[in-house]
Amino acid sequence: MVRSEQIYVTKQGKRQSEEFSPDKLHNSIFATCLSVRTPEGQAQDIAKTVTLGVMNWCETRPEITSADIRRQAQRIMKDLHPDAAYLYKNYKTII
């Protein structure tokens, strides 16, 4: 799936870049699905599908931004679970 070279995620501001972590993305998607009361098994399936989709998207990019990851994950998730996709996209703006 992901090529052998590492993919780096550029952070906002002056924060240092870090390696892309599929586990971190998977856990975030899984938690988002659970927060909209998705059954655990379905949440795992959605998280796996979204993570694999983002990993495939990353293959041709040596460096990406965290916003890129969020946009791609949300784009894939909206067909699988629109409510979770909305929450994932807008998590920083919801009070």
Q: Which pLDDT tens digit goes with each residue over 13-25? A: 778 888 889 999 9
Report the distance separating Cα 75 and Cα 50, nearest Å: 9
> What is the structure's pLDDT at 92?
64
Number of domains in the chain: 1
> What is the structure's pLDDT at 2?
43
On whether residue 83 sits in a domain, the answer given is yes
On whether residue 10 sits in a domain, the answer given is no
> What global pTM score does this model have?
0.85
Ramachandran sector of residue 6 (left: φ over 0; alpha: ψ -120 to 50; beta: rest): beta
Counts of helices then strands in the chain (DSSP H, E): 4, 3
**Boundaries of domain holding 73:** 21-59+66-89
Q: Token digits for 31?
A: 């938690």
Q: Is the pLDDT of residue 48 over 70?
A: yes
On whether residue 12 sits in a domain, the answer given is no
